[in-house]
Amino acid sequence: MTDTSWLNQLQDNGCRVTSARRAVVETVQGSPRALTPVEVFDLARQRYSALGLVTVYRTLEKLEELHLIQRVHQPHGCQAFISAGHGHQHLLLCKQCGQVEFFDGDDLKPLTESIEQRTGYQIQEHWLQLFGLCEKCK
Amino acid sequence: MTDTSWLNQLQDNGCRVTSARRAVVETVQGSPRALTPVEVFDLARQRYSALGLVTVYRTLEKLEELHLIQRVHQPHGCQAFISAGHGHQHLLLCKQCGQVEFFDGDDLKPLTESIEQRTGYQIQEHWLQLFGLCEKCK
DNA sequence: TTGAAATTGAAAATCAATTTCAATAATTGT
DNA sequence: ACAATTATTGAAATTGATTTTCAATTTCAA
């Protein structure tokens, strides 16, 4: 998915394409790591120096609504965003460099069914995240 | 694990046992749901009305350090705490009433090994959470 | 019982996130 | 191209959560 397509999607949802949004979109889109709003702000200002932090928050909110980005939960904090995976995916995070990757192929059916049996719960969703070292960092 | 034992563990780690801490400990210990600092504050003041919110934050911090409680991450927020499970466990959360349960029996080895092969990552930890409806709520 | 040291709550400070608002910029229809 | 409409902007003010500071109090070991 390219920058243009993100901007197009924003446009298709009644948003206008502006320099501020372009800067935020290009920054988040091009990052292999999850970025906090302030990190996005600092990086995106290299592209558009008049950018305000408030606009970063607002743009991230819109991008999240459109499922173009998603929040990343970590032991240290949960304010960071990464461009979203497609469909149902799980996260793989490098504890060293912060790189985020997605993987699918989760065959959790047997596990969830056994838990449903054991606990009486009706399971609707699951979150799975793996933490480790990426190829470069290990 | 009983209240006394939590207080004993605090004491063993150089802390003093006070009315404020007793109120916080008893509140968090007895809750089937994850509680935010403010929720702990409101509930614990029923036991010790002079309690201050700052002390709640400080006590929760100590209890987390001793692994007696743990933070619960949810889509809506990540500020809530629940008494910790023993050993490596996973969370099962009721989306209706907020009840938290633990389960183990995670057989994720095959999955993580396959991901290591596929991605080149060296996986060190994993987080698994299931969301659904508990027996009463479904 | 006493005295040192930890703990307390209130107030102030910090930090993140949201709201308000007048000025500006992007689109639409002409 | 142009004006009119409407969304978007950044700054400032606001809110809300968490942390720090500090003098008074409480715990506990001797």
Give chain A's domains with CATH numbers. Answer: 3-83 (1.10.10.10), 90-132 (3.30.1490.190)
pLDDT at B108: 86
Chain D bases having any atom below 7 Å from a protein CB: 7-12, 17-21, 26-28
What pLDDT score does A37 carry? 98
How long is chain B? 138
Mean pLDDT of B107-113: 88
Confidence of residue B104 (pLDDT cuts 50, 70, 90): confident
Three-class SS state of B100: strand
The verdict on a CB contact (< 8 Å) between B123 and A135 is: no
Summarize the confidence of residues B53-62 as an average pLDDT: 98
Beta strands at B69-74 and A122-133: parallel, antiparallel or unpaired:
unpaired
pTM value? 0.92
Q: How far apart are the first and last CA of chain A?
A: 29
Q: What local confidence, expressed as pLDDT, does residue A9 receive?
A: 95
Residue A4 has pLDDT above 90, yes or no: no
Interchain contact, B130 vs A121, CB within 8 Å: yes
Please answer yes or no on whether B94 and A127 come within 8 Å at the CB atom.
Answer: no
- Hey, what are A94's tokens? 């490098």
Using the predicted structure, report yes or no on whether residue A106 has a pLDDT greater than 80. no
Work out the average pLDDT over B92-112: 90
**Preferred mutation among A106, A108, A111 to probe B, highest tally of B CBs within 10 A:** A111
pLDDT band at A44 (very low <50, low <70, confident <90, very high): very high
Gap between the Cα atoms of B45 and B56, Å rounded:
10
Q: How far apart are CA A116 and CA A111, in angstroms?
A: 9
DSSP, collapsed to helix, strand or coil, labels residue A116 as helix
What integer pLDDT is reported at residue B86 of this predicted model?
85
Output the pLDDT for position A3. 55
Among A68-72, B75-79, B107-111, B122-126, whose mean pLDDT is lowest? B107-111
Higher pLDDT, B126 or B1: B126
Rounded to whole angstroms, the Cα distance separating B77 from B69 reads 17
Nearest nucleotide relative to A17: CA against C1': C26
Give the pairing of strands A69-74 and A77-83: antiparallel
**pLDDT higher than 90, residue A80:** yes
